[in-house]
Amino acid sequence: MIRLENINFAYRDEPVLQDVSFSVGPGETKVILGSSGSGKSTILKIILGLVRPQSGRVFIAGKDVTNAREGQLQKVRRKMGMVFQGGALFDSMTVGENIGYYLLEHTNRSLAGIEQAAREILDYLGLSQGLLDVLPDELSGGMQRRVAIGRAVAAENPQIMLYDEPTTGLDPISTLTITKLINKLRVEKGVSTIVVTHQITEAFEMADQFIVLHDGRIVFDGDTDGLLRCRQEYVREFLQPYLASVKSIPVGPTE
Amino acid sequence: MGHLRGFKRFVNDIQGLTFFCLKMFRYSVGRPFYFAEFMDQMYFLGVGSLFLVVLTGMFAGQAIALQFSIELADFGSKNYLGRVMAIAILRELGPVLTALMVAARVSSGITAEIGSMKSSEQLDAMRAFGVEPIRKLAVPRFWALMIMLPVLTIICDFVAIVGGYIVAVFIAHISPTAYWSNFIDKVSLGNIIIGTVKPFLFAMIIASVSCYLGFSTSGGTKGVGRSTTDSVVASSINILFINFAFTRLVVPHLRGLM
């Protein structure tokens, strides 16, 4: 579904990603782990075509979109839902307008139809329909992330979901709710998912395929067992706080 | 070294602004055109600036009329105040003052709004949802300014001339007939062309500079503040520079029409 081949990306002559290659199959979930500034979010932006790599190729659903024009990219992006770090909700629009944004821009649905769709999505997210006319600023961080997920899935059945630090800065209950929601989407809608995070506990609850990124390079790409047995120095260092804190290690995502 | 870096940044900004303007023109044609956004901006930029422009026009017109009525009286030419007002207001002060006031009010708002959307990734979110932010945010603001700034300039001209009339009649004791007949003598095609072309140029400057600086904001909240300040300064200086360049290069060719 998604394939990156030998991606190199630099910002102001500073290398951000170096020779990054990996793939995510239909319905699969992959978590990209790494410390802040390791280039995780840049990978999502490259997949979406928001930034272009200096070299390498990006394939979405078998199609090379590396040098696709903006118009072609917009069609590709319609297959994807993206949840940005912090939500990136449109702060001048209500929750209902945010959720219905895609439908408002790209379909001929009536306003009543869009409102109905937004209500259904709020139900799916486990949020009150009373929030429809509320501005994002009035919501808690956890609610904002859920609305952001709702806005992403409101697109016409996205086949790919991309999450940028979906649980960062949230309390444990909100984190659990978001994690469950991501898993629910994967199971019920069968979407291919990439989650970027540096929170290891949540990562194990969301996926069984992992990439570890260090200084823009992939230092690990494999499953849970492989990750826990990996001898690579940075991977050990990265996992150390987690390994020290758990008595039993969960294997695979919870549903 | 610092000068070289500053020059490099200046060249980069000019290049960036040029490409941005080209994109804005390209997205101005074709669909979708965000009409609701355009109407909102017409109201915000135009109607919202009306009171400010009326006040500016009134005080500026009265101040100029007061100054010139005293100076002209020394030469026994007080009755020519209407001519001076026509030249000063229609050609120069009406367009320039309106543009400066609108730039001060509007360009900071546009840059701050787009800049904060950029720093909170809302522009990326827009693109992720298949919406081109320049088409959605910059184009409606550009056309709203292109329509509303000339309208505001005409209103400012009118108010300034009426303000001048009040001073002329009630303070300088010039007869209404002398004021208006001298004023109409100078309302020539050349002066009208100068007075109506300038607002379009100034609208282009305000819209392109403020939107470009919003879209190129970086550095979080501090960056938004910096871009906002830069936007007002760059718009104002460019308005004054283009006004001078236009007066130097174009006005001499219109002398036959004045």
pLDDT digits (tens, 9 = 90+) for A47-59: 999 999 999 999 9
Q: What is the pLDDT of residues A186-220, one digit of tens each?
A: 888 888 999 998 888 888 888 889 999 998 899 99
Cα separation, A97 vs A102, whole angstroms: 9
Chain-chain contact of B124 with A70 (C-beta, under 8 angstroms): no
Question: For residues B215 and B118, is the Cβ–Cβ distance under 8 A?
Answer: yes
At residue B180, what is the residue type?
A: W
Give the pLDDT confidence of A224-247 residue by residue, as tens digits. 888 888 888 888 888 888 777 765
Give the ipTM of the model, two decimals please.
0.84
> CB contact, 8 Å: B30 with chain A?
no
Chain B residues within 8 A of A41 when measuring between CB atoms = none
Residue A203: the pLDDT is: 87
Whether residue A249 is predicted with pLDDT greater than 60 in this model: the reply is no
Is A82 in contact with B127 (Cβ distance < 8 A)?
no
Which residues of chain B have a CB within 8 Å of the CB of A102?
129-130
Measured CA to CA, the distance from residue A190 to residue A162 in angstroms comes to 14
| Cα A192 from Cα A28, distance rounded (Å) | 5
Q: Does B128 touch chain A (CB under 8 A)?
A: yes
Cβ-based contacts under 8 A for chains A and B: 48
A217-223/A209-214 β-pairing: antiparallel
Residues of A in contact with B127 (CB under 8 A): 48, 50, 77
pLDDT the model gives residue A36: 83
How far apart CA B166 and CA B160 sit, in angstroms, is 10
Chain A contact for B122, CB < 8 A? yes
CATH number of A2-88+159-245: 3.40.50.300
In a domain, B2, yes or no: no
Number of domains chain B is built from: 1
Give percent of chain B above pLDDT 70. 100
Nearest chain A residue to B129 by CA distance is A102
- Contact across the interface for A84 and B125, Cβ inside 8 Å: yes
Strands (E), A34-155: 55-60, 63-64, 80-83
Instruction: Report pLDDT for B155.
Output: 96
Give the distance from CA A106 to its chain's centroid. Answer: 22
Question: Does residue B1 form part of some domain?
Answer: no
- Whether residue B33 lies within 8 A of chain A, CB to CB, comes out as no
Count Cβ atoms within 10 A of the Cβ of residue B17 and give its class: 0-12 exposed, 13-18 middle, 19 or more buried: middle
Cross-strand partners of A30:
A194, A209
Distance separating alpha carbons of residues B23 and A53, to the nearest angstrom: 22
Query: Considering chain B, what is the average pLDDT of its residues?
Result: 91
| Contact between chains at B124 and A88 (C-beta distance less than 8 A) | yes
Quote the pLDDT of residue B219: 85
Report chain B residues whose CB lies below 8 A from the CB of A151. Answer: 129
Give the residue with greater pLDDT, A173 vs A89: A89
Given CA atoms B235, B238, B243, B244 in this order, what sign does their dihedral have?
A: positive
Q: Which residues of chain B have pLDDT under 50?
A: none
Domain region containing B72: 36-249
